[in-house]
């Protein structure tokens, strides 16, 4: 039962790492005024895939009795973050020149939603203690 929560917990750091690397490559593409590069596409896709995995793990843990408790706020906000992470796919073929900027905006907005989504479960307390704030 707790295996889902353990993998869910580990996967969050993979999401952070993939998002930071994707942001670096996307900013590079925006500054170079080019279409999306292979590395930006790889890490953006990795970010989206890890978000999907996180959603599935979260739903599995949420479905188990007495594991997640009352986590409706967390689940709803995180579901919105997953949706936001996939929105750029709509614009991929319609406007390829602006796609890096759209993808960057989606990743940053998804990260903001993630930070907001961890507040109901006490996540900010854990993150601030890790960084000594």
- Residue-wise pLDDT for 95-108, tens only, equals 777 889 999 999 99
Cα separation, 94 vs 106, in Å, equals 16
Model-level pTM?
0.82
- Residue-wise pLDDT for 15-61, tens only, equals 999 999 999 999 999 999 888 889 999 999 999 999 999 999 888 87
Total domains present in the chain:
1
Cα separation, 38 vs 45, in Å, equals 10
Confidence of residue 1 (pLDDT cuts 50, 70, 90): low
Confidence of residue 126 (pLDDT cuts 50, 70, 90): low
Side-chain half-sphere exposure of 38, counting CA atoms within 13 A: 0
Domain hosting residue 95, numbered range? 2-130
DSSP annotation string for 32-87: HT-S--HHHHHHHHHHHHHHHHHHHHHHHHHHSTTTS-S-HHHHHHHHHHHHHHHG
Confidence of residue 4 (pLDDT cuts 50, 70, 90): confident
């Amino acid at each position: 039962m707790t295996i889902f929560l353990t993998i869910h917990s580990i996967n969050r750091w993979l999401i952070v790492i993939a998002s930071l690397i994707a942001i670096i490559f996307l900013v590079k593409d925006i500054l170079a005024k080019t279409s999306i590069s292979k590395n930006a596409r790889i890490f953006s896709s990795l970010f989206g895939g890890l978000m999907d995995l996180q959603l599935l793990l979260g739903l599995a843990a949420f479905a188990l009795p007495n594991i997640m408790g009352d986590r409706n706020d967390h689940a709803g906000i995180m579901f919105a973050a997953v949706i936001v992470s996939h929105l750029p796919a709509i614009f991929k073929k319609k406007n390829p020149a602006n796609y890096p900027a759209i993808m960057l905006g989606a990743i940053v907005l998804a990260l903001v939603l993630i930070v907001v989504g961890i507040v109901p479960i006490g996540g900010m307390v854990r993150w601030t203690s890790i960084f000594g704030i």
